[in-house]
Structure 1
Amino acid sequence: MLALTSPVETWAHRIPPGPKLAALAVFSLAVFFVEDPVLMLLPLGFAAAGFAALGPVAARAGLRAIRPLWIFVAVLLVWHGATGELDRGLALSGRIVAAVAMATLVTMTTRLDDLMAFLTRALAPLRRLGLDPQVAVFAMALVIRFTPVLLARGRALREAWAARSPRRPTWRLVTPMAVAALDDAEHVAEAIRARGGLGSPQNEQET
């Protein structure tokens, strides 16, 4: 499986995961207080500047990673335009794009092992509540790992559609995408069970 990592080493890789995650949390919280579509250009510009600072190669990789968001943005804009709330739709779309872009920036410039190690330490107090932080960290790692895999599957389905039909892909691709995701999830679950579950020493070493 692939990860959402930068194809080149950048200056942002030298920043520890803790400060980057803290900055992401503050940014995501702040951006959801922005209601004016014009003011939303500020966090969007900040995210764009962050990608540009990584260099052209990494910036292009980051933009490709968030490109699938245009579908959700289009749906939001059409819906809010039809209901006469286009300004609200623009603000909501800007929030989503800005937050996802910054999250992508963090995952691109943070090694998965470092991210998991930090989250395991940060979530250690959950053990007092009877919760295993390893399970939460493992779930986060799977999301990060599988996101580019699912995007690649989506591209493959669109290409297969284009090879068989002159029409544009429609909502009918949702079903094969869902089946593929469930199939991958079943394979991962079987692999975890074969290794003794999340709490086994082998899985803890692999994660």
Structure 2
Amino acid sequence: MLSLYRPGSGPWHRMPPGPKALLLLLLALGVSLLPSAWPSAAVAVGVCVLCYVVPDVGIGELGRQVWALRWLVVVAFGIPCIFLGVEAATVGTVRIVAAVALAGLLALTTPVAALLDVVERALGPLRIVGVDASRVALLLVVALGTVPTLARLAREVRDAQRARGARGIRVFVVPFLVLALRHADDLGDALTARGVR
């Protein structure tokens, strides 16, 4: 399974997964709850930059994370801009991107197995009401691994289009959907073979 994890020895990598997840969750929540005013956008950007400007992560990685969200930025800014105005749309978009980038920092600095353990421990008390913590944790980890896989498949389809000189949304969507569904089938078969139902 593909992962966003990047090995390193910086402060984020050395921090235990549980406290790190809690700290980044609180930061993302704090950024999300900022008011819709220009200073809030500056605060959100500042929090992200401070979190990424550490050894083994760096501003370049923040740039890559934001670039990966470019289509989310277009949608998150474009629609609210029409109805709410430029200030509210800009601040809202910056808050969304900052929260996603902070979540990305957790995935970049924590191995998948450690993330699985953290989620399973956090959901442990919900066993009383019938929640299977190990299944939920597995679902989240599989989802984290699927996102970069789908991004890779989209790049492969785009590269194949460029090589053939083909253009158009239909030329992209059909092969991408075929590859995505094939990946889903393979993932389902792998989980079934391991006894996950």
Question: Normalization by structure 2: what TM-score?
Answer: 0.86
Instruction: Determine the C-alpha separation between the residues in 1 that align with 2:83 and 2:162.
Output: 33
Question: Which structure 2 residues correspond to residues 5-24 of structure 1 after superposition, within 5 A?
Answer: 5-24=5-24
Aligned twin of 1:119:
119
Aligned twin of 1:102:
102
Compare the two structures and name the one with the higher helix fraction. 2
Aligned twin of 1:93:
93
- Partner AA of 2:68 in structure 1: P
Question: Which structure 2 residues correspond to residues 21-170 of structure 1 after superposition, within 5 A?
Answer: 21-34=21-34, 35-55=36-56, 59-83=59-83, 85-165=85-165, 170=169
1:66–1:104 contact (8 Å) kept in structure 2: no
Runs of 4 or more, structure 1, over 6 Å off, are: none
User: What does the per-residue CA deviation read over 1:31-53, in whole Å, with 9 as the maximum and x for residues that have no partner?
Assistant: 22221133212122211222221
Deviation at 1:142, TM superposition (A): 0.6
Instruction: Determine the C-alpha separation between the residues in 2 that align with 1:5 and 1:152.
Output: 15
Deviation at 1:78, TM superposition (A): 2.6
Question: Normalization by structure 1: what TM-score?
Answer: 0.82
Deviation at 1:77, TM superposition (A): 2.4
1:120–1:137 contact (8 Å) kept in structure 2: yes
Structure 1, unpaired ranges of 5+: 199-207
Aligned twin of 2:178:
179
- Partner AA of 2:51 in structure 1: G
Instruction: Determine the C-alpha separation between the residues in 2 that align with 1:94 and 1:193.
Output: 40
| More deviation, 186-195/30-39 | 30-39
User: What does the per-residue CA deviation read over 1:87-145, in whole Å, with 9 as the maximum and x for residues that have no partner?
Assistant: 22112211111011111111111111112112212211121111210110001111121
Q: Could you say what the CA RMSD is over the residues aligned between the two structures, in angstroms?
A: 2.3
Count, aligned residues = 196
